[in-house]
Structure 1
Amino acid sequence: MTQNQSLVAAGPPAGARIAVDDPATGAVVGEVPDTSAEEVARAVERARRAQRGWAGLDTRVRAGFLARGRRWLLAHREEVADRIVEENGKAREDAIVEIVYCAAAFSYWAKRARGLLAPAKVRSLSPFVLGRSMYTRRVPRGVVGVIGPWNNPLLNSFGDAVPALAAGNAVVLKPSEQTPLTALLMERMARECDWPEGVFQVVTGAGATGRAVVDTVDFVMFTGSTRTGRQVAARAGERLIPCSLELGGKDALVVLADAALERAVNVTIQGALSNGGQMCTSVERVYVEAPVYDAYLTLLRERFQQVTSGRPAGLGSVDVGAVTFPPQLAVMEDHVEDAVRKGARVLAGGRASAGPGRFFEPTLLVDVDHTMKCMREETFGPTLPVMKVADAEEALRLVNDSRYGLQASIIGSDMKRARRLAERFEAGCVTINDAQTNYMALGLPMGGWKESGLGVRHGAEGFLKYTRLQAVSANRFPMRRDMHMIPYEPSAYRFLLRLVDVMYGRGLRGRAD
């Protein structure tokens, strides 16, 4: 994923500001502070003070604050959607998906927090702890720093703050400098919903601001490029704080010979072109079994040519919006040019569109192979290379021939065959007859293997990462002295050895013989 620039950067000068533009027009639509390290430290200290009271609230009280936030979001959804489209350039339909996700997140984590945080009893068969009461409990980490990307300024930024807040943490959110305005709307939400002051704050800025967040918080949730993710992990390791990283992807889709082609094509286009292909879970390469390759490609090309792109102007105006991050246009052009130079053919699109904004035509490439950048490096745009394979085994080999392992998809009618194939993919998430829909299943963990990241979001694991585990053992019936205590009694230890033989020594004599 290429949403965040390097954290290695000099601090901003005092009073520095960052202009925010509309990628679809080039017009400046806002300006935000480039927050200094000192200001970040002060924000984290405010969060630390607020967190103590927030953590002390009953989960049902915190759920009430989250419910206020959900109602505010739904009441202001038009304003929020306008802001997302304005600073990101995506189609309005893609902005609505972000709002739906966050509304669901408010509700889901408010309901699930109580059960996930409940103490869990532990039983042991060891005679050494007879009579003890043992349990584990979860406590919030403190201040969580969320560093968000530009491609989903609500979903992947504030969306990660919701479970952290539900777990009892305070959150300091550093949105991408490309798309900070939506995050500031959510800070306004917190104020207008009377959330405790300091529990949720936004610090805007570039790389140095992000580094300052990593340097001061107790846990980091980062979504962005693999390159920057390595820097986050290294710095977190130096500080001995945990981090969760969702990084790059080169997600594959496999079309099996028994696939329903209409479904296969619809899933392909949605997976490749939603949000302009600017998602870590975007379908970026397709492998099609030879028997259905020609029919699939004919239908795919026809549908590709029906896709509309351009400046968003309300629902139904365009399918693919603008390119949010300026350097990404050069990556798209480079990948297409590299593929054509090495023998690929362009069946649709292939160029950056002329105009005041930043656009790239929805592009379909064929005759591709793994010598080409478009099959191995993250493109992060509305381009799709399609490759014919002899069979599923060749597809499997090529899917796994990647340094990334975030998500993969299979389209096929034989579910047993599809499941067997899915379980051999080297990817953290696999969908069958779908693409990306798993992201809306908040109970299902989502995370990458290989260079696609560490940890997960969603599911119990994605919530509990925002907590620390404490184990408690209580001796309910303490005697004056236990038999194993100093000064040692030989008879007591001879008894212990006989007890060990009875409990754990079964079969030893037979094996020795």
Structure 2
Amino acid sequence: MASAAEMLEVRNPRTGEADHRIPVSSREEVAAKAAALRENQRAWEAMGVEGRCGVMARWLGAVKARAADIGEADAVDTGGCHTSYIQGFITMGNIGGWLEDAPKAFADLAWKGMSTSMPTVEVESQVVAYPITGVISPWNAPLMLALLDAIPALFAGSAVLLKPSEVTPRVIEALFETVREVPELAKVFDYVTGPSQVGQAVIEEVDTICFTGSVPTGRKVAVACAERLIPCNLELGGKDPCIVTENADLERAATAVLRGAVYATGQVCYSIERVYVHESVHDQFVALLAEKAGEVRFNAENPKAGHIGPFTFAPQAAIVTAHIADAVAQGATVVTGGEVENIGGGLYLRPTILTGVNHDMLIMQDETFGPCIPVMAYSDTEEAIRLANDTHFGLTASVIAGDAEEAKAIGRRINAGGIFLQDTFLTFAKLRTFGSDSFGWSGYGSPRIGPESLRRFLRRKSLLTQTGAVADIRNDHHLDEEA
């Protein structure tokens, strides 16, 4: 355990006060935990997927018993996001889903038969887990995004070393109370805490990395992994667009855009951050959106009663403020919101609608990660698609049109991994169905959701058995027999 001099204070996003402390794991502690995990992983993988499912089913029971406590801890970390309070139940769904999906995923990877290119050779597949998966998770949705990688890695047979964000560590402490109730799991699932250098130490000790966070940090993670020649899977930023066509139901569109942009105070990787509306309905749409935005309430008085909470990470409020100021300086108009409010030490921002925006502004180019809705008019479909694709990012996008077919025709031409049609915020719909890739700067590596995501933690081997005669070099017919 670290000494008092090696403790890090943690801010409460609702009060602005440092009311929690975490130890800063030393490089030696990280190495020791990794060594123990590596030793224990062999028995974990040897259980086979059915054996691991039995252990994970017991963990599911432990999580169920503490689901409410886990949600409360997540809510303290985030400032009271609605999703936080149900994180225990989301975790149960994650584990339960993989209890059903993991055996089938392994079965789908198995193959045995005769070679089509060498008919006397029997080919059999084998999958081998990476011994240790390192998970470096972000401060937004701290538990959900950590476990989106950690849980399938465990089902795959990896041990997992988790480094949560130092901004939101409380929920991980609550989670590991349940892990310790399952001794077999506790031997292969551990965590370390502290700032960025702890994450660097994790990269030096593991065999593959899953990182969720910003593009600049993701680049550093990728370089560090490249230097060690280990794989990494990165989910990075987004600047997700929504196109609203002239035939769209504007009531529906305004409702969907508002939620997609400001849910969780806009601190979601697939939040709507750019809105393109046909010029013929632009003003009507903005008026509807502003009316709905005016009904969104802070949760300052009661974290379970309002619609949006404070900024989880205080410096993010300054970034959002800078984006708004840059837009206004270049001619944008703030229709609603626009000013960060300090309420009891928490930093809040009302849904901020901006018009008169263009792609020279930070708010239309860089990830804002706050409850801002810049709305830009377009003249025709070609322009809308061009504007939506004018970005380095490509995580998700939304299209709300007159009907689903019109929306789908536009969506097929947008460069993003997930396209939401006639709504926003539909990522959860594909969780157990199939994954999608991130485009551009939004990510690197294999899909992190769907049954196929288990493949990230496995290496495939082939066992080749010659059932016929062996080849004799003296019978190679391409040689010149007279030579």
Q: Same fold (TM over 0.5)?
A: yes
Residue of structure 2 aligned with 1:301, choices 287, 290, 304: 290
Q: Mark the structure with the bigger radius of gyration.
A: 1
In structure 2, the residue matched to 1:27 is 17
**Residue 398 (structure 1) aligned to one of 362, 376, 387:** 387
> Aligned partners of 1:461 and 1:353: how far apart in 2?
44
Query: Aligned to 2:43, which of 53, 73, 78?
Result: 53
Aligned to 1:363: 352
More off after superposition, 265-274 vs 225-234: 265-274
Which residue, out of 310, 319, 327, partners 1:322?
Answer: 310
Tell whether the 8 Å contact from 1:157 to 1:183 is kept in structure 2 after alignment: no
Question: How many angstroms apart in 2 are the aligned matches of 1:292 and 1:210?
Answer: 48
Whether contact under 8 Å (2:69, 2:174) holds in the other structure is no
Aligned to 2:177: 188
* 2:142 maps to amino acid: P
In 1, distance between residues paired with 2:227 and 2:377? 46
Measured in 2, the distance between the counterparts of 1:112 and 1:153 equals 24
Q: Which residue of 1 aligns with 2:462?
A: 471
| SS state at 1:253 partner | strand
8 Å Cα contact 1:246-1:447 kept in structure 2? no
Q: CA deviation at 1:424?
A: 1.2
User: Which of 447-456 and 368-377 deviates more?
Assistant: 447-456
Cα distance between partner residues in 1 of 2:234 and 2:113: 31
Name the aligned partner's letter for residue 29 of structure 1. D
Q: Does structure 1 retain, via aligned residues, the 8 Å contact 2:80–2:299?
A: no
Deviation (angstroms), 1:312? 6.3
Corresponding residue for 1:266? 255
User: Do the aligned partners of residues 220 and 122 (structure 1) sit closer, same or farther apart at CA in structure 2, a change above 3 Å counting?
Assistant: farther
Give 1:492 deviation, angstroms. 9.7
What residue number does 1:166 align with?
A: 155
Per the alignment, residue 506 of structure 1 pairs with: none
- When normalised by structure 2's length, the TM-score is 0.94
**1:5 maps to which residue?**
none
Of the candidates 55, 58, 63, which is equivalent to residue 73 of structure 1?
63
Q: Aligned-pair distance for 1:242?
A: 0.3
- Find the counterpart in structure 2 of residue 178 from structure 1: 167
8 Å CA contact 1:229, 1:247 repeated in 2: yes
Contact 2:78 2:168 in 1 (8 A): yes
Report the AA paired with residue 397 of structure 1.
R
Change (3 A) 1:413 1:280: same
Aligned residues: 475
By how many angstroms is 1:122 displaced? Answer: 5.6
**Equivalents in 2 of 1:61, 1:125: separation in Å?**
34
Decide which of 112, 129, 136 is 2:125's aligned counterpart.
136
Contact conserved, 1:312 with 1:321, CA < 8 A, in 2?
no
| Structure 1 residues not aligned, in runs of 5+ | 1-11, 495-513
Q: Shift of residue 408 of structure 1?
A: 0.6
State whether structure 2 residue 111 is matched by structure 1 residue 120: yes
Q: Structure 1's 67 and 260: CA in aligned 2 closer, same or farther, altered over 3 A? A: farther
Matched, 1:488 2:475: yes
Change over 3 Å in CA distance of 1:287–1:489 after alignment to 2:
closer
Match of 1:460 in 2: 451
Q: 1:340 Cα shift?
A: 0.9
Distance 1:493 1:248, change over 3 A: farther
CA distance in 2, matches of 1:292, 1:41: 59
1:42 pairs with 2:32: yes
Query: Offset of 1:116 from its aligned partner?
Result: 1.6
Q: What is the CA–CA distance in structure 2 between the aligned matches of 1:334 and 1:169, rounded to whole Å? A: 42
Matched with 1:337 is: 325
Give the percent of matched residue pairs that are identical in Structure 1 and Structure 2: 35
Q: Cα deviations across residues 216-247 of structure 1 (Å, max 9, x unaligned)?
A: 10010000010010111111111110000000
Offset of 1:258 from its aligned partner?
2.1
Instruction: Tell whether 2:75 aligns with 1:82.
Output: no
Superposed CA deviations along residues 87-111 of structure 1, whole A, max 9, x for unmatched, are: 21133x2213534432221011122
101-110 or 273-282, larger mean C-alpha shift: 101-110
Which residue number in structure 2 is paired with residue 504 of structure 1?
Answer: none
- 2:303–2:309 CA contact under 8 A, matched in 1: no
Residue 123 (structure 1) shift: 5.5
Q: Deviations over 1:439-492 (max 9, x none)?
A: 3532231442111110221123321011111112212x332x43xx31235389
For residues 246 and 175 of structure 1, the distance between their equivalents in structure 2, rounded to whole angstroms, comes to 15
- AA of the residue aligned to 2:42: R
Distance in 2 separating the partners of 1:131 and 1:107: 43
CA distance 1:236–1:125, change in 2 (3 Å)? same
CA distance 1:167–1:320, change in 2 (3 Å): same
> Alpha carbon RMSD of aligned pairs, Å?
2.0
TM-score, normalised to structure 1's length? 0.88
Q: Of residues 338, 344, 359 in structure 2, which corresponds to 1:350?
A: 338
Q: Deviations over 1:247-300 (max 9, x none)?
A: 011011111222222221121111111111001111111001123222221111
Give the AA of the match of 1:488: N
Distance (Å, rounded) in 1 between the aligned partners of 2:437 and 2:5: 38
For the structure 1 residues 348 and 82, does the alpha-carbon distance in structure 2 shift closer, same or farther, using more than 3 Å as the test?
same
Cα distance, 1:180 vs structure 2: 0.9
The AA in structure 2 aligned to 1:191 is R
Q: Distance in 2 between matches of 1:339 and 1:231?
A: 30
Do 1:85 and 1:312's aligned partners in 2 also have CA atoms closer than 8 Å? no
Instruction: For 1:15 and 1:151, locate their aligned partners in 2 and report how far apart those are by CA, in whole Å.
Output: 27
CA contact (8 A) 1:439 1:446 kept: no
> Could you tell me whether the CA contact under 8 Å between 2:67 and 2:89 is conserved in 1?
no
Q: Tell me how far apart the structure 2 counterparts of residues 288 and 394 of structure 1 sit (CA, whole Å).
A: 11
Moved more, 43-52 or 180-189: 180-189
Over residues 343-396 of structure 1, what are the superposed CA-to-partner deviations in whole Å (9 max), with x where a residue is unaligned?
111111101102311222221111111111110011101111011111221111
Q: 1:285 to 1:312 in 2, by over 3 A?
A: farther
Partner of residue 99, structure 2: 110
- Cα distance change of structure 1 residues 94 and 490 upon mapping to structure 2, 3 Å threshold: closer
Is the CA contact 1:445–1:459 (under 8 Å) kept in the aligned structure 2?
yes
Name stretches of at least 5 consecutive residues in structure 2 with no aligned partner: none
CA contact (8 A) 1:368 1:387 kept: yes
Distance in 2 separating the partners of 1:466 and 1:472: 20
Q: How far apart are the structure 1 equivalents of 2:480 and 2:307? A: 76
